[in-house]
Structure 1
Amino acid sequence: MPDKSVVRPSRRRKRDRGEAPAQSIEQERPGAVRHVFRRVIHHSSPATGQIPILDWLTGSPYENPQLIGEPAETEELVSISFVLDLGEALFRYGAGALEVETSIIAVTAAFGMKNTDVDITNQSIILNWAPEGKIPYSRVRVVRSWSVNFRALSEVHQLVTDIISGRLRRAEAETRLLEITRQPKPYPRWVATLAGAVFAGLFASYTGAPPLDAALGFVATLLVLAVTKVLSTWRMPEIFALAAGGLLATVVALSALYAGADITPSMVVAGGLMILLPSVRIVSAIQDTINAFPITAAGRLVSSLVAFAGMTAGIMVAVVLGHQAGAPQVEVAEGITRIYPAAVLMILVFLTAISAAVVQQAPYRLLLPTGAVAALGFTGFYAGELLGLGDWFTPLIGAVIIGALARVTALWLGAPQLVVAVPAMMFMLPGLLIFRGMYQIAISESAAYRTAGLYQLFDALIIIMAIAAGIVLGDVTMRPATKRFQSNERSRGRRR
């Protein structure tokens, strides 16, 4: 029988030198194979494990929030109330569901509130706080009013940035949020109305309207905005206000045609209603769908369809009444072709984006950058047209360029991406295509004509999906490149 005291030191020395006895290799080989096989087929983490809520901030402007301090138990309910006020302000000023959710998650994390969760629906925010060993606490905030104010949205975005950088305590943040919500809009009402009329005239010129048609579209827009504003102050439902707008725009076109003006009525009607078309709302709905907010997307889509139905009903009433009164027949669904060269179109797109930004109450510092982003997006859009890429793929190219440049520009200037992207993308919107499709379905008695209207609606939906997907894709692709901008933005906030 061999002496065990001799064998064991020998094996230890061989293991120390990185060697192993031949017999032990043969004995351990099946176990080593099984170990490698288990490593290949088994995941390093359970497939059903929950993703930490802070991981949802990855890629957003608010990732890695700085902890201000552990709050006292009596302060957590007050902090929840402030966070809901913050989310309500974001919703009211036009932020998307993803922007609202990431802002709330980042602020609660900065306040040291663990075990919180948030759920966003079409017009409500549900915040749940479930501390360990205590009774969970939930609050619901319903957003009942909306006000387009991109400057206020940018300032709330900067407020969130300052909170997560550790610069503001909750009491200071409450005071600042109250100041933001109480300050007036940057542009008076008459300036925004005039900018809306300018936008309509420029957009009509971009789509191919001659100067007289664009001028009549400008006048029609002024009248439509004045009437719809009065009806809104009377708490008139949106569908009736938009029906009145469609009626009034068509009356302007019929009156000019009856007076002998050499115009295309479809261009005048489209120009008068372009600022009211809810195409941006549809794009936002598609973006919410892409970002996994189906309930919010469904609500926006339904409200958009109701808005289109209201405008179409108003136009139908005007056409029928005009026909009974002996007015000339109006072909509202007539197609439009461009009449200006590319250089003029780029200038029109630049000015259209600036006027749309004024309508959206964007801050002064973002007007020229928004126009520049739109012009650069138009270059990609126009290049796609020259290459013959088709009506569906061409908007995707322009949208990706706008989405990428809007993220860089907006974060550099301290604003969320949509503040730049929404006005810059409006030259690509197929709102006129949707309107023509709904009009053909509603007013025509021909089955072939109705089928053409359905095709136009489907075509417009594909274009809208391409625009929304392109803006989201451009935003996502620029996330790694804008991390430095986010850190610089926080550093500037700490130095102020």
Structure 2
Amino acid sequence: MLEAREANLTIDLCLRVGEVLLSSGAGAADVTATMQGVARELGMRNADVDITFTSLAMSYQANPEEPALGSARQVSRRAIDYDHLTQVDHLVRRILDGVVDVHEARSELAQIVSTGHDRKRWAVTGGWGLMCGGVAIQLGGGPLVIGLAMLSAIIIDKVQDRMQRRRMPSFYQQVVGGGVATLLALGVGATPLSVNVSLVVTANIIMLLAGIGFMGALQDALTGFYVTASARLLEAFLATAGIIAGVTGGLSVASSLGVRIPQLEPGVANLQTVGMLALGSAVAASAFAYSTYAPRRILLPIALVAATAISISRVIELAEVGRAWSVAIAALFVGLVSFTVSGRMRVPPLVVVVPAIVPMLPGLSIYRGLTLLSEGGSATSPGLLAMVAAISVAIALASGVILGEYVAQPLKREAQRVEARLAGPRLVGPVHVMSSTRRRRRKRAEAAQEARDAGESGESGGAGS
């Protein structure tokens, strides 16, 4: 039984681990299982964990006759950081293997979250620009469209970074991002230069959509964490509404100034060949992973997974299968292979999954819906249908990936019991956990070996005297 001091240190460690995971987009089921696994390994069995998206709470009562120990921690909204997520995931695995104790784990965790990155901020900004350039390639844009999309992304990242430093809510950051992308594209389109404004705006919409946590929201809903799922869905809808407000505001300003607003036709999905789609998707996915501080060793596998997924989606779509079903099957492939790829590259599956589905985000449908809605009249109904199609694609992406994780992850021993209790796959945290029986046997064997070693050293000392 742990002393009160050790128990409080363990609770604090679990809460800090959960904060990093939850703020990086991990599902509530993954965070709960990871926190309970760490607590159990450090001597606290049957600890209670409560997650409500903006806060974490944990309590432990070793004996009904003693008061319960508990603590809570607020989860601050932070930018996606897959480097810290990966390092914390490795620390959790070392804790579960019995390599580090609570004091060493606390010291290492503090060093992880307080240490900066070897990736310069200007390089991250360049990564966002390269990501939008990859999306422009994927959409079939020429050199001017690609360059303009990259320039817009760099400006948007600079502006949003400045707003984030001033603690502006993410909704206003999305509004400004959508407005900057639209006004810049329409401004260049008003010049004699021949540029497809729609593709530029679409590329930047996908950039703004990439950081929205649809994946974690749907995973929480499927695994029974409805309060957290509702909060994440509300955050996602607000962020998307910010993009819509920014783009529609830009379109309204351009219309009031007499600038012609180009509209994408319904058949615009046939923009690019499969090969160029794969190339653009690979560039966009790997650049997004780079901009979110993913380890460099995983960038090439992410590019390959994204290129294959978009090719699968395109081939199925050419067979006259609906857009939602085609991206759902491609997302299923991402979920199936991400577990194996992440295990070989020593990163959580979430680091592979999210960048790989970024090129399939429904930026095109959102832009079409907005331009149709901005015209009013008879175009209102097609605009609403385009927005509904965008929502269905987003849901298909998230549900397809999670189904792939359900199929791919083997459930064994203690991990199987945890998964059955939480009813969900693991996108963060170890799946293969050493059982308590094996752990006790290992500790008894180590204690017996130490006793034998001590006895042998005593005997040798007595013989020498």
TM-score interval (norm. to shorter): 0.7 to 0.9
Tell me the distance in 2 between the aligned counterparts of 1:404 and 1:305.
28
Find the partner of 1:230 among 156, 162, 171.
162
**Paired amino acid for 1:121:** T
Tell me the distance in 2 between the aligned counterparts of 1:265 and 1:160.
47
Q: 1:127 to 1:266 in 2, by over 3 A?
A: same
Alignment pair present for 1:75 and 2:17: no
Find the partner of 2:27 among 83, 96, 113.
96
Tell me the distance in 1 between the aligned counterparts of 2:412 and 2:404.
12
Q: 1:309 to 1:215 in 2, by over 3 A?
A: same
Within a 5 Å distance, the mapping from 1:105-124 to structure 2 comes to 105-124=36-55
Q: 1:318 to 1:429 in 2, by over 3 A?
A: closer
Q: How many residues align?
A: 419
Find the partner of 1:444 among 367, 375, 382.
375
Alpha-carbon offset, residue 191 of structure 1: 0.9
2:455 matched residue in structure 1:
none
**Paired amino acid for 1:105:** Q
Alignment pair present for 1:467 and 2:397: yes
Runs of 5+ consecutive residues of structure 1 not aligned to the other structure: 1-69
Within a 5 Å distance, the mapping from 1:396-411 to structure 2 comes to 396-411=328-343
Tell me the distance in 1 between the aligned counterparts of 2:130 and 2:370.
26
Cα deviations by residue, 1:412-452 (Å, 9 ceiling, x for unpaired): 222211111110111111133234435544x2331x32222
2:74 matched residue in structure 1:
142
Alpha-carbon offset, residue 76 of structure 1: 0.8
Runs of 5+ consecutive residues of structure 2 not aligned to the other structure: 416-429, 436-441, 443-465
SS in 2 for 1:277: helix
Alignment pair present for 1:388 and 2:342: no
1:432 matched residue in structure 2:
364
Alpha-carbon offset, residue 220 of structure 1: 1.3
2:296 matched residue in structure 1:
364
Answer yes or no: is the 8 Å Cα contact 1:283–1:468 preserved in 2.
yes
Find the partner of 1:331 among 262, 278, 281.
262
Within a 5 Å distance, the mapping from 1:220-369 to structure 2 comes to 220-277=152-209, 280-326=212-258, 328-331=259-262, 336-369=268-301
2:387 matched residue in structure 1:
457
Tell me the distance in 2 between the aligned counterparts of 1:253 and 1:73.
61
Tell me the distance in 2 between the aligned counterparts of 1:281 and 1:334.
29
Tell me the distance in 2 between the aligned counterparts of 1:115 and 1:339.
55
Q: 1:212 to 1:432 in 2, by over 3 A?
A: same
Tell me the distance in 2 between the aligned counterparts of 1:457 and 1:418.
27
Q: 1:423 to 1:189 in 2, by over 3 A?
A: same
Tell me the distance in 1 between the aligned counterparts of 2:203 and 2:311.
24
Find the partner of 1:175 among 107, 123, 126.
107
Tell me the distance in 1 between the aligned counterparts of 2:170 and 2:47.
36
2:60 matched residue in structure 1:
129
Higher-Rg structure is 1
Alpha-carbon offset, residue 184 of structure 1: 1.1
Answer yes or no: is the 8 Å Cα contact 2:206–2:362 preserved in 1.
no
Alpha-carbon offset, residue 206 of structure 1: 0.7
Tell me the distance in 2 between the aligned counterparts of 1:461 and 1:279.
16
Answer yes or no: is the 8 Å Cα contact 1:94–1:147 preserved in 2.
no
Tell me the distance in 2 between the aligned counterparts of 1:264 and 1:180.
44
Tell me the distance in 2 between the aligned counterparts of 1:379 and 1:323.
37
Q: 1:486 to 1:90 in 2, by over 3 A?
A: closer
Tell me the distance in 2 between the aligned counterparts of 1:303 and 1:487.
32
SS in 1 for 2:300: helix
2:438 matched residue in structure 1:
none
Q: 1:337 to 1:204 in 2, by over 3 A?
A: same
Cα deviations by residue, 1:330-360 (Å, 9 ceiling, x for unpaired): 1356553344322222222222211111111
Alpha-carbon offset, residue 402 of structure 1: 0.6
Cα deviations by residue, 1:182-221 (Å, 9 ceiling, x for unpaired): 1212421111111111111111221233332222111111
2:348 matched residue in structure 1:
416
Tell me the distance in 1 between the aligned counterparts of 2:91 and 2:335.
23
Q: 1:320 to 1:384 in 2, by over 3 A?
A: closer
1:193 matched residue in structure 2:
125
Alpha-carbon offset, residue 366 of structure 1: 0.9
Q: Which moved more, 1:200-209 or 1:104-113?
A: 200-209
Find the partner of 2:145 among 190, 203, 213.
213
Alpha-carbon offset, residue 257 of structure 1: 1.7
Answer yes or no: is the 8 Å Cα contact 1:91–1:146 preserved in 2.
no
Q: 1:283 to 1:145 in 2, by over 3 A?
A: closer
Cα deviations by residue, 1:103-133 (Å, 9 ceiling, x for unpaired): 1011011012123111211221121212222
Q: Which moved more, 1:70-79 or 1:355-364?
A: 70-79
Find the partner of 1:479 among 406, 409, 418.
409
**Paired amino acid for 2:156:** V
Cα deviations by residue, 1:305-334 (Å, 9 ceiling, x for unpaired): 2222222223333333333334x2113565
SS in 2 for 1:138: strand
Tell me the distance in 2 between the aligned counterparts of 1:281 and 1:440.
27
SS in 2 for 1:127: strand
SS in 2 for 1:480: coil
Answer yes or no: is the 8 Å Cα contact 1:186–1:361 preserved in 2.
no
Tell me the distance in 2 between the aligned counterparts of 1:135 and 1:438.
57
RCO comparison, higher one (Cα < 8 Å, 6+) = 2
Q: 1:300 to 1:117 in 2, by over 3 A?
A: same
Tell me the distance in 2 between the aligned counterparts of 1:486 and 1:301.
26
- What is the TM-score with the length of structure 1 in the denominator? 0.79
Tell me the distance in 2 between the aligned counterparts of 1:422 and 1:186.
22
Q: 1:449 to 1:279 in 2, by over 3 A?
A: farther
Alpha-carbon offset, residue 145 of structure 1: 3.0
